[in-house]
Amino acid sequence: MQEVTVTDFARSFGAREDEFSSECLQAIRNYDFSYQQLNQKQRDDVILCVLKKISSDTQVIGAEERTSVWEQGWAENLDAFKSQNHSLEALIPKFIRENQPIRYDGDYIMPANPRFEFDYMTVFRIWLFQKYFADFSKIYEFGCGSGLNLVLLASLFPNKELCGLDFVQPPVDLINTIGKTHNWPMTGHRFDMINPDESFKLAEKCAVFTFGALEQLASKTENFIQYLLHQKPGICIHVEPTVELYDEDLLFDYLAIQFHRKRGYTERLLPRIQQLEAEGKARILGIKRLHFGSLFMEGYTYIIWQPV
């Protein structure tokens, strides 16, 4: 067995070890980050599984029927939250799979901990939120889903005003219910990132982020980028699968590229922000591929920028 260490996390995040807060270090200690490298037979089996999935998968990102899928999925989280006495565990999305190999540091591994991916993501979010959101009094998450990220933010920054936005109603109801039941300054609102409502004004010097949300727009991100350029938040963070950072000459990366493109996840977000920087309209503060993800692709690359 091997184990992800503090040094490994720092390298993955593009951070210094002395940047990790006590909360971040405590999370690393509390969770089991041990894992096993796969032997050749096991690795071949995983690759075969991925190839079969790419071949057989019929999900099309951005298709009209996906709206009802998201409505139903987030409604299930809302119902579970209410029925389980407002347990925050009920907010974990169903698409986070447990007990399967994952992608880590350029290869497939088998974690000992069934919730390895979720716990790794928790350590990452603690570091990211504390490093970049500490100086902002209001934070907006576009594509907030179950509110999982806002709940973590509320625990880290109980006095910050939080706003969760989504294009379907159940997440809005869920965010408002969470805020009310836990007495957090948290509200939900409807917002369509493909067709942004320009009358929805962001607070001055606020922070904006997306977490696996722009990926679902099937590359229809330009209107939302323009909305952010007009609103001028103090910082924008996108944690999204970023196909441009894979190496198509590596089998490991090539499989992720094929899965990404088979489904139609968003592309060209990073090149567009880089173009805006070249035009003097944006300032890029950070770009980092974590070299960590689920079985089929890596969804945790961060892009951090400011409108100019």
The share of the chain scoring above pLDDT 70, in percent, equals 99
Angle at 289 between CA 283 and CA 274, to 5 degrees: 30
pLDDT for 65 beyond 80: no
Torsion angle of alpha carbons 241, 242, 248, 252, nearest 10°? -30
pLDDT band at 260 (very low <50, low <70, confident <90, very high): very high
**pLDDT, average across residues 241-252:** 98
- Between CA 72 and CA 168 the distance in angstroms is 10
* Span of 65-79, 127-141, 152-166, 213-227 with lowest mean pLDDT: 65-79
Q: How many CB atoms lie within 10 A of CB 37?
A: 13
Percent of the chain clearing pLDDT 90 (strictly above): 87
Residue 203 has pLDDT above 90, yes or no: yes
**pLDDT at 239 (0 to 100):** 98
Q: Is the pLDDT of residue 64 over 90?
A: no
The pairs formed by 46-54 with CB atoms below 8 angstroms and a separation of 24 or more are 46/101, 46/108, 46/295, 47/108, 47/251, 47/255, 49/295, 50/255, 50/259, 50/295, 50/296, 51/255, 53/259, 53/296, 54/255, 54/258, 54/259, 54/262, 54/296
Residue type, 151: V
pLDDT of residue 128: 98
The answer, yes or no, to whether residue 114 has pLDDT greater than 80, is yes
Integer Cα distance of 212 and 238 in angstroms: 8
The upper half-sphere exposure of residue 260, i.e. CA atoms within 13 Å in the direction of its Cβ, equals 25
Residue 105 has pLDDT above 90, yes or no: yes
pLDDT of residue 70: 83
pLDDT at 137: 95
Q: What is the 3-state secondary structure (H, E, C) of the chain?
A: CEECCHHHHHHHHCCCHHHCCHHHHHHHHHCCCEEEECCHHHHHHHHHHHHHHHHHCCCCCCCCHHHHHHHHHHHHHHHHHHHCCCCHHHHCCCCCCCCCCEEECCEEEEECCCCHHHHHHHHHHHHHHHHHHCCCCEEEEECCCCCHHHHHHHHHCCCCEEEEEECCHHHHHHHHHHHHHCCCCEEEEECCCCCCCCCCCCCCCCEEEEECCHHHHCCCCHHHHHHHHHHCCCEEEEEECCHHHCCCCCHHHHHHHHHHHHHCCCCCHHHHHHHHHHCCCEEEEEEECCCEECCCCCCCEEEEEEEC
Flag the least confident range among 8-22, 89-103, 204-218, 235-249: 89-103
Mean pLDDT (whole number) for 262-272: 97
Return the CATH number of the domain spanning residue range 2-307: 3.40.50.150
Give the CA distances from residue 2 to residues 8, 37, 109, 116, in Å, rounded to whole numbers and listed in that order: 11, 8, 10, 13
Average confidence (pLDDT) over 85-94: 81
- Tokens in use for 171? 């997440």
How many CB atoms neighbour CB 296 within 10 A? Answer: 22
pLDDT, tens digit (0-9, with 9 covering 90-100), for 150-163: 999 999 999 999 99
Cα–Cα distance measured from residue 124 to residue 106, given in angstroms and rounded to the nearest whole number: 18
Q: Is there a contact between 158 and 226 (Cβ–Cβ < 8 Å)?
A: no
Two structure tokens written together for 13: 């995040």
Tell how strand 2-3 and strand 107-111 pair up: unpaired
* Residue-level pLDDT at 71: 87
Residue range 240-254: mean pLDDT, rounded: 98
Token pair for residue 85?
A: 């006495």
Query: Can you tell me the mean pLDDT for 109-138?
Result: 97
Whether the predicted pLDDT of 72 surpasses 90:
no
pLDDT(93) > 80 = no
Region 254-274 average pLDDT? 98
- Mean pLDDT value across the chain: 95
Q: Per-residue pLDDT tens for 211-231?
A: 999 999 999 999 999 999 999
Residue 234: what pLDDT? 98
pLDDT at 97: 72
